[in-house]
Amino acid sequence: MSTKGVLLQHVDNKPLREKILDTLREAIVSGDFKPGHPLLENDLAAQLGVSRAPLREAFQILASEGLVETIPYKGTIVRHLSRQDIEELYTLRCVLEQFAIRRVIAAGHIEDVATLRGIYEEMLAAAVQGNLKAVNEIDRHFHDTLIALSQHHLLTETWSTVTLRVRQVMALRNRRNSDLTQIAYNHVPIIEAVARGSESEAMDLIEKHVVTSLDLIVELWDDGAEASTEETAP
Amino acid sequence: MSTKGVLLQHVDNKPLREKILDTLREAIVSGDFKPGHPLLENDLAAQLGVSRAPLREAFQILASEGLVETIPYKGTIVRHLSRQDIEELYTLRCVLEQFAIRRVIAAGHIEDVATLRGIYEEMLAAAVQGNLKAVNEIDRHFHDTLIALSQHHLLTETWSTVTLRVRQVMALRNRRNSDLTQIAYNHVPIIEAVARGSESEAMDLIEKHVVTSLDLIVELWDDGAEASTEETAP
DNA sequence: CGTTTGTCTACTGTCGACAATTGACGTATA
DNA sequence: TATACGTCAATTGTCGACAGTAGACAAACG
């Protein structure tokens, strides 16, 4: 007989490398670990209370994601972010998002639009409350959802590594965007273009959306000292 | 005094994980290790004459590249390739290549076109000699070069993992394409579209180029048994 | 019988110890 | 004094041994 009705949480038996990975990834994309920051294996292992083996396995994954850089026999550091890196990040992001939208429009599921509208409502609510952090999270969620709706796993995977680094850039950015409701409003034309199925219009809007964010960041990006951790807005 | 004039090879002191990585990657994309093939750590370590630590580090990278799949406490296998996977591979590939071409055209360096023409000449030469393997390699080189000319590192990185898996698909494909010169000819209109700077035309050509290859493969792809290793053509 | 529980085994996960490499610093030598 | 050459400490790379897990199969139980 099985233990009916009683529902229990799964005990957490993820391998250490995955827990370590989550921890380090968060530290990097949140800007806690700044570009150039050395990741010493002994120190980190001691700090996290693990041995170096799973730590090193996590390093390989972080390196594949482009978050860190390992030079053999020298060490691993958080990757530097040049102006060019950021431009590449945003231009590729744009291409991926445009591709996703084309697929969403082509699929033509009306409920997709409803999903996006729902997220927009949340974002607007958070914006009028002046909750910057929430707006940021919901904005990320909006774009992640757009990608997910494309029903393209490979795209989704590629997207997730790109956005990780975009998050990092935003966390390191040295100025804060203020007009939260405007950020929310910006999403309306995109949703409506998808709703109407007007592909070329949606393409232009995404491009503008992304290029604007890029300009805001690159404008005053200091290639030498990528730093200053404040909450910033998309 | 330095040892003038005498030029010596660098001794190979790459970390083991990288050598292992190259070996395993080649085995997978060449179709030697077929989808579903289990990668047992003890066996492989013994076979390669290394310990499990660097082997496992290589596994993490292969997993990030989408070539293998690791299930915690169960094991690592070469990833299965469903029809949908292949479709996603080729559609994303198409998007990336289109993006690259847009950038090459926008940059407008005349020498880029010359580079591409040069590679085409090589391909044609190999084709008339009926050298299937060479045509395949040069075809890959053509597309890799196109990406490289875009001067977009992030795109280049993304591309390289996608094409790895495309190579794998071609290696596993169960029929051989015969008309080699036709394959070479197919590249002419693309080069000329780039030369004339006609973006929309180039976009269409790439799309057709890729969709055709995709159809040829998906047409008779057996989702159950991804197999039969023969040389195949693009 | 069918279900549960114990046991065994092949494998992955983790650890601590040791080897190899690097770069810095000091030292000899012309 | 400038160049080459030991030497050393810090760090990464590699290894072998042990711990933990999942799945299969057998034994106990109703």
Structure confidence by residue, pLDDT tens digits, A105-150:
999 999 999 999 999 999 999 999 999 999 999 999 999 999 999 9
Give pLDDT, residue A2.
47
A36 and A100 housed in the same domain = no
Question: Both B55 and B88 in a single domain?
Answer: no
Nucleotide nearest to A76 (CA to C1'): D12
Q: Is B152 within a domain?
A: yes
How many structural domains comprise chain B? 2
Element (H, E) at A144: helix A132-149
Give the CATH number, domain containing residue A200. Answer: 1.20.120.530
* Range of the structural domain that residue A124 is part of: 83-218
pLDDT at A231 over 50: no
Quote the pLDDT of residue A7. Answer: 75
pLDDT digits (tens, 9 = 90+) for B10-68: 888 899 999 999 999 999 999 999 999 999 999 999 999 999 999 999 999 999 999 99
Q: Confidence band (pLDDT; 50, 70, 90) for A229?
A: very low
Residue A116: closest CA among A179, A195, A185: A195
Task: State how far the Cα of B108 lies from the Cα of B73, in Å rounded to an integer.
Answer: 53
Q: How far is A121 from chain B (nearest CA, A)?
A: 31
Whole-angstrom CA distances from B178 to A84, A172, B166, B220, B234 are 43, 54, 19, 16, 10
**CB of B77 nearer than 7 A to strand D:** no
Work out the mean pLDDT of chain B and round it to a whole number.
91
Confidence of residue B219 (pLDDT cuts 50, 70, 90): confident
Q: Is residue B1 part of a domain?
A: no
The Å distance, CA of B226 to C1' of D19, is: 37
* Closest by Cβ to B88, choosing from A15, A152, A162: A152
Whole-number Cα distances in Å, B61 to A94, B56, B233: 26, 9, 28
Considering the domain architecture, whether residues A67 and A169 belong to the same structural domain is answered as: no
Q: Do B51 and B68 reside in the same domain of the chain?
A: yes
Tell me, yes or no, whether A232 lies in a domain.
no
- Both B96 and B206 in a single domain? yes
- Whether residue B136 lies inside any domain: the answer is yes
CATH number (domain holding residue B37): 1.10.10.10
Q: Does one domain contain both A50 and A163? A: no
Angle at A189 between CA B203 and CA A115, to 5 degrees: 95
* Residue B198 located in a structural domain: yes
Q: Integer distance in angstroms from CA A1 to C1' C5?
A: 13
Q: Do A89 and B153 touch (CB under 8 A)?
A: no
Same domain? For A126 and A171 the reply is yes
Which pLDDT value is given to residue B10? Answer: 85
Cα angle value B158/B152/B203 (rounded, 5°): 80
Residue for token pair 């998906």? B218
Query: What is the mean predicted confidence (pLDDT) over B160-180?
Result: 88
Residue ending a domain, choose from B62, B78, B94: B78
3-state secondary structure of A233: coil
List all residues 6 or more positions away from B8 whose beta carbon is below 8 Å from its beta carbon: none
Residue B95 within any structural domain of the chain: yes
In chain B, the percentage of residues whose pLDDT exceeds 90 is: 79
Q: How confident is the model at residue B221 (pLDDT cuts 50, 70, 90)?
A: confident
What rounded mean pLDDT belongs to chain A?
A: 92
In a domain, A194, yes or no: yes
Are β-strands B68-71 and A75-78 bridged in parallel, bridged antiparallel, or unpaired?
A: unpaired
Q: What is the mean pLDDT of residues A206-232?
A: 76
Q: Give the domain-ending residue among B78, B95, B126.
A: B78
Same domain, A135 and A151: yes
Residues B94 and B167 sit within 8 Å (Cβ to Cβ) = no
In this structure, the answer to whether residues A54 and A41 fall within a common structural domain is yes
Same domain, yes or no: A181 and A195: yes
Listed residues A33, A48, A78: the one ending a domain: A78
- Same domain? For A51 and A105 the reply is no
Residues B97 and B50 in one domain: no
Query: Which pLDDT score, from 0 to 100, does residue A232 have?
Result: 47
* pLDDT on residue A226: 63
Residue contact B64–A66, C-beta within 8 A: no
Quick check: is A99 in a domain? yes
Chain A residues whose C-beta sits inside 8 Å of any chain B C-beta: 13-15, 17-18, 53, 56-58, 60-61, 63-66, 72-73, 84-85, 88-89, 91-92, 95-96, 99, 152-155, 157-158, 162
Q: How confident is the model at residue B128 (pLDDT cuts 50, 70, 90)?
A: very high
